[in-house]
Structures are given as structure tokens and as C-alpha cells.
Chains A and B, each alone.
Chain A
Amino acid sequence: DSGVTQTPKHLITATGQRVTLRCSPRSGDLSVYWYQQSLDQGLQFLIQYYNGEERAKGNILERFSAQQFPDLHSELNLSSLELGDSALYFCASSQTGRNTEAFFGQGTRLTVV
């Protein structure tokens, strides 16, 4: 158990809908990362937050947004969902977000039908 909690574990929704994925980082970690893993694909970096502030952005679609709250949990919002958004979404956390080990959660499997 990495200490990073992601909910829900599975999510099935229809095209055009909006969903929210939640991540609770390890105790003491200030930084949260979001990654997307499509079938048989690598880990695509979406976005990183540190202590509530956005620190880095990757190839995140405009339909996607995220935030990190004062209690350090983070949410990834996906809207106007398309079939191609079906993927595993991972959250990871680290102490500082700079050149340190990132601990991954178990992921949320999103299926868009």
C-alpha cells in the first residue's frame, strides 16, 4: 500500500458526461501529480500541484481540469467525455515534487460508453 488513495476504483459513464476523480496523497506529501494511462500505453503526464498551486502542466486537454484543496487532496475533473478518454487515471504524491520519489495510487479505471 503506497498510502495514496484514489476513488472511485472504477467508473463507467456515457459520452458527453462529466466525472470527478479524487486523490488523497500520502500523509505529509505536499505535491500531487495526475497521469493518464490508456490501454497498453505509457504514463502520460497531465498536471502537477504543489501545496495548492499548479506547478506544471502536461498534455492535459482543455476539457480536463484539476485542483488541489487546502487539505491537500486533489480532484481531476473530466468533462464532455469522449470514448477516447477511457483509460486508467493515476494520482501520485511526493513530499516536495522536486526530484523525489512519487508514490502512485491504485488508479481509477474510467470507461466511457
Chain B
Amino acid sequence: GENVEQHPSTLSVQEGDSAVIKCTYSDSASNYFPWYKQELGKGPQLIIDIRSNVGEKKDQRIAVTLNKTAKHFSLHITETQPEDSAVYFCGKGSASKIIFGSGTRLSIRP
């Protein structure tokens, strides 16, 4: 119940197209779902987060959707740009810790 499954592990999209990364979990205690972006040689950085009382949140080209009944949440990046190339981690948070998925390496093809 502690893990969060993240798919796909690698994703290559054409510049300008959309990218979608999905995560699933199984416990009922998690109520905070952040997404982090990790660029080469850097620490992860929060790009968007959502709490369990919200179904969708958008910030410019990035959106996150949460289906708490089905226990899955997704990251959507529209109009992808070269600078979107990075590793993305989904996370699930409860009262005391944030557990991360295994990561998705996103590559943007010119």
C-alpha cells in the first residue's frame, strides 16, 4: 500500500505535442499529490501539486488530474518545448512523508 506506480518509464514526444504521465496508488491515507521535475545534475523541483479535495488543477501548459475513487492521477504537459526534457516524478503524501514513483524520462524531439 505504500508504493506508487508510475508509467511510462520513458516517453518521447514531438515538440509541440502533448505528454501524459500516469500514476496509481492503493492506500486511502494519501491526500497530497505533487509532481516534481528533475533536470540533469539538479535536485527535484515541484512543478504542480493537487490535494484530494480537488479533481483538476492547471498552471499554464501543465495540468494534473486526480481520480481519488480510482486512485490514479496524471500529469499533462501541452505544447511541449525542449526545456521540458527531464525526469518527472509523481508523489503521494500523507501525514508524515512523500513517497515517489519510479520516474518518467521525458524527451522532446525537435
Contacts and interface: CB of A to CB of B under 8 A. Distances in A.
Given A2-B43, A106-B42, A106-B43, A99 B31 contact: yes
Most buried by B among A35, A48, A99: A99
Contact of A45 (B6, B43, B99): B99
B81 interface: no
A99 B100 contact: no
A99 B32 contact: yes
A56 B89 contact: no
Given A2-B45, A56-B97, A106-B43, 20 more contacts: A35-B100, A41-B103, A42-B100, A43-B89, A43-B100, A55-B96, A58-B97, A90-B44, A99-B31, A99-B32, A99-B51, A99-B93, A99-B94, A100-B32, A101-B34, A101-B46, A102-B46, A103-B46, A104-B43, A104-B44
A104 B27 CA distance: 25
B103 A42 contact: yes
A98 B99 CA distance: 13
Contacts of B99: 45, 58
B95 interface: yes
B65 interface: no
A74 to B, nearest CB: 15
Chain B interface residue bracket vs A:
20 to 34
Interface string A80-113: 0000000000101000011111111111000000
Nearest to B95: A98
Given A99-B31, A99-B93, A33 B98 contact: yes
A56 B98 CA distance: 10
A24 B46 CA distance: 19
A69 to B, nearest CB: 20
Nearest to A43: B100
17 contacts: A2-B43, A33-B98, A41-B103, A42-B89, A42-B100, A43-B103, A45-B98, A55-B96, A55-B97, A58-B97, A90-B43, A97-B96, A99-B31, A99-B93, A102-B34, A104-B44, A107-B43
